[in-house]
Amino acid sequence: MEYKYIIKPRAIQKIRTFYNNVARKYRHTYSYEDMERNVRDAFFSIYQIEKTLLRRTPLLQRWEGCLMANTDRWYYAYKIEGDTIVVVDASHAQNMK
């Protein structure tokens, strides 16, 4: 099945904010290009949900009622509505506690 993807603003904000904070903290070694590449990679990996990123049980209580998929760096909470995957939240692996 071919899915359509919707990425909610909360997920977008979490990804951009995380890498923006990294860029500020490591401004002497982490370039703007590094930040843009990491943000782009995080967004591209969303399109692998239900393809190569398998469905998992959510680890965070606030994601109850959602499905979860993860890469080595990002965890995504999502819902399937017909033929559409709606990504409602994202969390970097460092923040998964």
CA distance linking residue 67 with residue 30, whole number of Å? 32
- In this structure, which topology does domain 4-95 adopt according to CATH? YaeB-like fold (3.30.2310)
Name the pTM for this structure.
0.93
Largest Cα–Cα separation, the chain: 46
What order of strands is seen across the sheet that includes strand 74-81?
Answer: 4-7, 84-92, 74-81, 67-70
What are the residue boundaries of the structural domains of the chain, listed by start? 4-95
Instruction: Report pLDDT digits (tens) over 20-35.
Output: 999 999 999 999 999 9
Report the residue count for the chain: 97
pLDDT at 9 over 90: yes
Instruction: Report pLDDT digits (tens) over 32-58.
Output: 999 999 999 999 999 999 999 999 999
